Structure 1
Amino acid sequence: MAHVIVTGAAGGIGGAIAEEFAAQGALLTLTDRDPEAVERAAARLGGDTAAHAADLADPDAPAGLVERAWAERGPVDVLVNAAGVYPSIDMADLDARTWDRLFAVNLRAPVLTTAAFARLAMAAGRPGTVVNISSGSALRSRPGGGPYASSKAALEMATRAAALELGEHGIRVNAVSPGFVLVAGDCNPVSAEYAAAIGANPLGRPGSPRDIARAVVWIAGRDASWITGEVLRVDGGSSAGALHLPRIWQPGDTRATPPPATPATLTEGPTS
C-alpha cells in the first residue's frame, strides 16, 4: 500500500487527487491550511486517512509535514504538491508582502517538501515520486496574473532541477499543468465572460478536477516509471496554440494563394 501525501487537499484539484489515490487503495496523509476543511476532506475518504493542518508559508511547515507523516505513518512513496494561492494583482500594484507569500506557498513550499522527502528517502534507500501541480500560466501570463504566472514558471524549472539531481537515487520529479478547470466552490471565482475566454481549447470543454487527478495518479505510477523532469500539460490542447485567433485569410480568398514559383536562372561563373 503506497503512502501518499497530498498538500492543498481541501481544494477542488487537491481533493480530487486524494480521491483518485484513495480509489487505488493508497494510505493518505492530507494537508491544508484550513483545519476544518482538511478534516472534512479526510472524513469523506474514510478509511485510514490522516489530516494535518499546516500553513505552508511558514518556513518550517513544509519539511515538518513530510517528517511527521513519515515518522507517524511510515515511509512516504508519493508526494503531491497541490497547494497554491492565486491572487489577481497587477504588476504595478505589487508589494513585497504579497509577492513573498505567493512565492512562499507556490514555490518555496513544494521545493522544501521535495527536499525533506528526498533526504528521508535517500537515507532509507527507497525510491519515490514527486508530482508538482503547475499551471498553463507558466507558459503565458494574463492581465492581473503576472505574479502567479511567475511562481508557476519557477516551479517548473525547480521540477526539472530536482529531477536532474534526484534521479540517481530513484526519485522521480514531474509536474502536471492543468488548463482551465471548473472547480466547485468560491476559492477562485471567475466571471462567465472570463471562463468563456480562457476556456477555449481544441477539445471544446473545460477540464474537471478528475481529469487532473487521473493524470497525477498515472505519472506517479509504474506506467510512467521512465519519466522524470517532465511537465504534463492536461489542458484540452489549449497550450498547442491560439485557437481564439482568426485565420489570416478566410478559405477561398485568392489573396491566400501564393504566387507561382519563378524558375531559377542558372549562371556560370568564371572558370579557372
Structure 2
Amino acid sequence: MSRHVVVTGAASGIGLAVARSFAALGDRVTLVDHRADALEAAVATVAGGAEPHASSAGAAVLVADLREPEAPARVVATAWEQAPIDVLVNAAGVYPATPFLDLDAATWDAVRDVNVRAPLLATVALARHATAVGRTPTIVNITSGAALRARPGAAPYSTSKAALEMVTRASALELGAAGIRVNAVAPGFVVVDSAVNPVSDDYAAAVSPNPLGRPGKPSDIAKAVVWLADPEQSGWVTGTVLRVDGGSSTGAHTLPLSNGTTREDVSA
C-alpha cells in the first residue's frame, strides 16, 4: 500500500536520498526545500527513480523557508490536504562554520530555527492532524554524531542536534499513546555535494575515519530511515536514536595502544 511521505531538506544530500528511497518503494513523496530550482531538478530524479518492480505513486514539491515560524505547520497542512501523511522525515539542516568568539545571536537563532524548531513544530502539526482522525504516522528526525561530540566552529550545530535528539525522545514519550512513533537517525560523516553546507577537503579527511574505513553515503542513511518508518520492521521502536556512522561513535579507534605496542605487533 502506497504511503504519503514528506521529506524536508529534500533538494539534495541525505534528504534527496531519502526521498528517492521511498519513491523506489512506490510511495508518494512530497519534497520540501527553500531552493525552488534545486527542488524542481530533484523531483524529476525522484519521480523517475522507482525500481522496476515498484510503481511510484508520484512526487511533488513544496517550497518553504523553515526559518519562518509558521512554515513547518503550513508545510504539513498543505501536504495533508493532498493526502494524509504517513511518514515525516525532518532532514533539513544548516551547518555554519563559525568560530566560538565570532558567534552572535543571529547565527545561533538561524541554526536553532531550522535544526530544532522546525522539526519540533512540524511534528506537533502532524500529530494534531493525525490524532484528530485517528491516524498513526511515523516521524524520523535526522540528527548527527555532532550531538555527542563538539567540533570547532560548530557550537550552534552540535547544540542543535543534541536538542533534536531530546525532541525525538520527548515527542516519542508523549505521542506513543496515540500510536505515533518518533525516532532519529544520527549520521556520521557522509559525503554529499552541498551548496548549502560546503565541506572542505581538509575537514572531510579529518572527520571521516571510522572503524569500517570509509565515509558514509546518503543511501546508507536513507536505508536506516526507511527501516525506522516501516511498522512491520520497527513497529516497537520509538524514541530511539540510531547511529549510522561506520562505528565512529564507538570511540577513538585511531589511538595507539597505551603500552606502546602497535596493532601490527598484536595481530602478528
Give the structure-1-normalised TM-score. 0.90
2:249 matched to 1:248? no
Instruction: Map 1:87-102 onto structure 2 (within 5 A).
Output: 87-102=96-111
RMSD of the alignment, in Å?
Answer: 1.2
| Residue 80 (structure 2) aligns with | 70
Displacement after TM superposition at 1:178 (Å): 0.3
Instruction: Map 1:172-187 onto structure 2 (within 5 A).
Output: 172-187=181-196
Tell me if structure 2 keeps the 8 A contact 1:173–1:228: yes
| Residue 50 (structure 2) aligns with | none
| Residue 213 (structure 1) aligns with | 222
Deviations 1:76-120 (A, max 9, x none): 000000000000112221111111111000000000000000001
Instruction: Map 1:1-272 onto structure 2 (within 5 A).
Output: 1-46=2-47, 48-71=58-81, 73-221=82-230, 222-251=232-261
Structure 2: which 5+ runs fail to align? 48-55, 263-268
For these two proteins, the number of residue pairs brought into alignment is 251
Structure 1: which 5+ runs fail to align? 253-272
Deviations 1:167-187 (A, max 9, x none): 010100000000000112443
Tell me if structure 2 keeps the 8 A contact 1:16–1:213: yes
How far apart in 2 are the matches of 1:216 and 1:45?
16
How far apart in 2 are the matches of 1:97 and 1:251?
49
Tell me if structure 2 keeps the 8 A contact 1:91–1:147: no
Q: Which has the larger radius of gyration?
A: 1
How far apart in 2 are the matches of 1:31 and 1:53?
6
Which one-letter code corresponds to 2:241 in the other structure?
Answer: V
How far apart in 2 are the matches of 1:193 and 1:37?
27
How far apart in 2 are the matches of 1:186 and 1:31?
16
Displacement after TM superposition at 1:245 (Å): 2.1
What secondary structure, in the 3-state scheme, does the structure 1 residue paired with 2:256 have?
Answer: coil
Which one-letter code corresponds to 2:223 in the other structure?
Answer: R
Which one-letter code corresponds to 2:40 in the other structure?
Answer: E
How far apart in 1 are the matches of 2:44 and 2:195?
21
What secondary structure, in the 3-state scheme, does the structure 2 residue paired with 1:244 have?
Answer: coil
Give the structure-2-normalised TM-score. 0.91
Displacement after TM superposition at 1:225 (Å): 0.6
How far apart in 1 are the matches of 2:164 and 2:127?
17
Tell me if structure 1 keeps the 8 A contact 2:3–2:27: yes
What secondary structure, in the 3-state scheme, does the structure 2 residue paired with 1:211 have?
Answer: helix
How far apart in 2 are the matches of 1:234 and 1:83?
17
How far apart in 1 are the matches of 2:179 and 2:151?
37
How far apart in 1 are the matches of 2:89 and 2:234?
15
Aligned residues with identical type, % of pairs: 59
Which one-letter code corresponds to 1:16 in the other structure?
Answer: A
Tell me if structure 2 keeps the 8 A contact 1:7–1:83: yes
